Each structure stands twice: as structure tokens, then as C-alpha cells.
Amino acid sequence: MYPHERSLVEKYPADEFAIVGVNSESTIEAAQEVIKKNNLTWMNFYDGGTSGPISTRWNVSGWPTIYLIDAQGIIRYKDVRGEDMDKAIEELVAELRTEKQKAETK
Amino acid sequence: MRPMLLLILTLTILMTGAPQVLSASSDAPREMDSKKEEAEAAFKKLDEAMSQAREAYFEPMDKARKEGVLSPEEMSKIELDPDLLPIKVVGPKILKAIEKYVGTEVALAQCSELLYLSSREESQAWMFDRVSDLMITHYLESESLKNFCTMAHYMGDSPANVKLLRSIFADSPHRDVKAASGYALAKVLGSSKDTREEGLELLKKIGSDFGDVVYYRDTVYGDKVKGDLFEMEHLQIGCVAPEIIGKEVFGNLMQLSSFRGKVVLLDFWGDW
């Protein structure tokens, strides 16, 4: 997963796309270590374990669980993986670019 | 020599005389014990047959893996022989053994396993029907049904699964089995359009009537249902993502809404 995620972060400009992680490692030291070791450049909430407050509120029962949220903050896809995930991100970023263009030409 | 002789004598008495004396009171449980042992041995053999069948079925994939590293996409393109499906090859033998040893706990565990496997293959729906009927006829009183119930909502919304869960929920004498079967039934009903309302009603009922029963580890059904209801209301496609405010891994405060204006991949993850 990490190389794939890294490639996504590299593919899109930072003002169009971001990964926000919610990490459920059982200790914060373990979370810090895995982030340093794998050179993850994106931000991660720390949830204090699999039954942490964020995972509980979002009713997460399997890891990884993925949500794709558009630029307006709307949930657009749940649990897409692999190629489907890439396509979905491409679609949402294209939407964002069209919106921006519209706003500029006005 | 003498202690040895005494031992043999004692053994002889125990083996020949004693059972006759005791037979009046302990024949039935003894028979149960030997049936249980026989059943365990039979199912152990079938487990082995199952692993061999799995190996045979997945052989083309193993071979490909040994020949070189393939991407997941390439792996998924490898064709497997549908006639070698383990459930097709070994399933009927397991079913036969279940029928023979029906009533034992070990046969019940096998029922769950068969239901799980047959729920994944449309061609094996007949087996799901047969096994679920056996469970309704012979196991509604068993507390071990809980093991099946906790996985049952992954087994689809077939009429047979709905019927089985309804029967367990109505007739089980055990409160934890009732909670687990009711919860699974609510999830299954909630997953299809025509029965969504009934599923939602039942889900709320499980939350209120069985809220204190343990779902998994330190989570009770009350919390689980609360989470499910929140998900249905606020975490569907088209909903505004709920705010998350908290500390990130290195201690800085952050919030999800500050990413507005960008496409966000929200990833719940752990390195395990």
C-alpha cells in the first residue's frame, strides 16, 4: 500500500489532493516508527488502537478502510481499492479542476 | 513380577467386569463419548481432505508465484478449474458426515464452515439450504450457535440464511445467541432494499433490548448498534464527512475540515 499511496501523493499537486491517515497502532511510538521507517510524508491522526475514538465513531471494523472525500467535503466513495481507487481519485480531481476553471473565467 | 500381575488383574476386571456393573447408569453418556470421538476423528480426516483439495485448486496460482512475482492484477487473471472447487469436491462428504453425527458439537462447527463456503458459490446454494435445515432441526438449543451468528451477516441475504437467522432469533433459549442472531438478521435485512425498514427497526430493537450483551471483546451490542446507526445516517455516499479533530502522530493538532478544497483520501490503517 505505501508505495502506491506515495505515488498518488507525488502524482497530484498538494493543493488538489491529500492523504489523511487515521493510524490505529496500539502505541504512539509504534505509529511514529512505522511512519518514519516507511517515509510517509502525509498527515496521520493517532487513534490509540483499533477501538480508538475516531475508528469507533466512523464504525470501522476492518483495516484498511478507505473513504474518498471530494473538495466540498462530501463522501463520494467508500472502500474502493487498486485501479478503482485511482480512477475515482482521477475523477474527483478532474471535477475540482473544472470547478476552478469555471471560477476563474467568471 | 507381583505388582505387574496385580496390575494386569485389575485391568482385566476393569475391562471386562466393570462396564457391566456400571452399564445401567452410564451407558448413554459413554455412547455419546464414543460417538463424539468418532465424529472428531471423521471430521479431522475431512479437514485434511479439504486442505488437499484447496492445494489442488490453487495449484496454478502457486506455480505462477514460484515462477516469478506477479502483480495482484496478473494473479487475478489466472484461471482456476471450477470442477476442483474444494466445496464441490469435499463438501458433499462433509455434509454426509454432518448428517451421520448430527447432534454433536463438532458437527455444528462443521455446519458453520459449510454454510460459509457454500454462501460464496452460487452453484452450492442447495448445500446452504440443506445445512441450514439441519441446524434448524437439531441445533436451535445450542449455545455454540453464537459462533455461526457472529459471521452470519457475511453470508448474504439468501432466503435460507434469513430463515435460519429468524428461527434462531425466535427460538434460542440463550440471550447471547439471540443478540447475535438478531443483529446478523438486522444487518442482512438492512442490506436489501425491500427489507431495509424491517432491518433498521430490528437493529434499534437489538440496541435497546440486548445493549448490554458483549459483541466482541470490550464492545457491547449497544455501542455496535450506535455505530451502525451513525454510519447509516452520516457516513453514506453523498453525506458531508463528519469532522475529525485530534492530534496527529507527532503531537500537532489537526482537523479534517482544514483539507476542504482538496480531494482527500481518508485512510484508516495500521501496520499489521
Indicate if B168 and B221 belong to the same structural domain.
yes
Indicate if B66 and B131 belong to the same structural domain.
yes
B247 in a domain, yes or no? no
> Does the structure show a pLDDT above 80 at B188?
yes
Instruction: Please give the pLDDT value at position B20.
Output: 40
Indicate if B69 and B135 belong to the same structural domain.
yes
CA atoms within 13 A on the CB side of B221: 26
- Residue labelled with grid coordinates 478502510: A65
Look up residue A69 and give its DSSP letter: E
Indicate if B135 and B156 belong to the same structural domain.
no
B267 in a domain, yes or no? no
Measured distance CA(A65)–CA(A43) in Å, rounded: 16
CB–CB contact B265 A57 (8 Å): no
CA atoms within 13 A on the CB side of B101: 26
Measured distance CA(B68)–CA(B71) in Å, rounded: 10
Whether A1 has its CB under 8 Å from any CB of chain B: the answer is yes
Q: Which of B86, B107, B139 is the last residue of a domain?
A: B139
B266 in a domain, yes or no? no
Nearest CA in chain B to A12: B263
Could you tell me the residue range of the domain that residue B43 belongs to? 36-139
B245 in a domain, yes or no? no
pLDDT in tens, A52-78: 999 999 999 899 999 999 999 999 999
Indicate if B174 and B116 belong to the same structural domain.
no
Residues of B in contact with A14 (CB under 8 A): 262
Indicate if B159 and B216 belong to the same structural domain.
yes
pLDDT in tens, B24-82: 445 566 777 888 899 999 999 999 999 999 999 999 988 888 888 677 777 778 889 99
Measured distance CA(B49)–CA(B93) in Å, rounded: 10
- Angstrom distances, CA of residue B191 to CA of B121, B155, B198, B203: 19, 12, 11, 12
Of the candidates B73, B217, B247, the beta carbon closest to that of A46 is on B247
Measured distance CA(A55)–CA(A62) in Å, rounded: 10
Torsion region of A48: left, alpha or beta (phi above 0 gives left; psi -120 to 50 gives alpha): left
Instruction: Please give the pLDDT value at position B29.
Output: 66
pLDDT in tens, A73-105: 999 999 899 899 999 999 999 999 999 999 888
- What ipTM describes this predicted complex? 0.97
B53 in a domain, yes or no? yes
Helices (H), B77-195: 86-89, 91-100, 105-119, 125-138, 145-151, 159-171, 175-190
Q: Greater confidence, A64 or B19?
A: A64
Indicate if B104 and B189 belong to the same structural domain.
no
Of the candidates A18, A31, A82, the beta carbon closest to that of B262 is on A18
B252 in a domain, yes or no? no
Q: Which helix (H) or strand (E) holds B233?
A: helix B221-234
Indicate if B96 and B153 belong to the same structural domain.
no
pLDDT in tens, B198-229: 999 999 999 999 999 999 888 899 999 999 99
CB–CB contact A75 B231 (8 Å): no
Instruction: Please give the pLDDT value at position B22.
Output: 43
- Residue labelled with grid coordinates 502505541: A27
Nearest CA in chain B to A68: B265
Number of domains, chain B: 2
User: Residues A11, A67, A91, B248: what is their CA dihedral angle, to the nearest 10 degrees?
Assistant: -30
Instruction: Please give the pLDDT value at position B32.
Output: 73
Indicate if B53 and B121 belong to the same structural domain.
yes
pLDDT in tens, A21-45: 999 999 999 999 999 999 999 999 9
What structural domains does chain A harbor? 2-105 (3.40.30.10)
Q: Which of B86, B112, B139 is the last residue of a domain?
A: B139
B130 in a domain, yes or no? yes
Mean pLDDT over residues B102-126, rounded? 94
> Does the structure show a pLDDT above 80 at B21?
no
| Cell matching residue B3 | 505388582
Whether A93 has its CB under 8 Å from any CB of chain B: the answer is yes
B133 in a domain, yes or no? yes
Q: Which helix (H) or strand (E) holds A86?
A: helix A82-105
Q: Greater confidence, B219 or B1?
A: B219
Mean pLDDT over residues B169-187, rounded? 97
- Residue labelled with grid coordinates 442472531: B181
Whether A91 has its CB under 8 Å from any CB of chain B: the answer is no
Mean pLDDT over residues B4-9, rounded? 44
Question: Regarding beta strands A75-78 and A65-69, do their DSSP bridges make them parallel or antiparallel, or are they unpaired?
Answer: antiparallel
Q: Which of B139, B162, B177 is the last residue of a domain?
A: B139
| Cell matching residue B71 | 502483480
CB B178 within 8 A of CB B169: yes
Cross-strand pairs, B220: B214
Indicate if B170 and B230 belong to the same structural domain.
yes
Residue B41: exposure state from Cβ atoms within 10 A (0-12, 13-18, ≥19): exposed
Indicate if B132 and B156 belong to the same structural domain.
no
Whether A52 has its CB under 8 Å from any CB of chain B: the answer is no
CB B87 within 8 A of CB B117: yes
Indicate if B132 and B161 belong to the same structural domain.
no
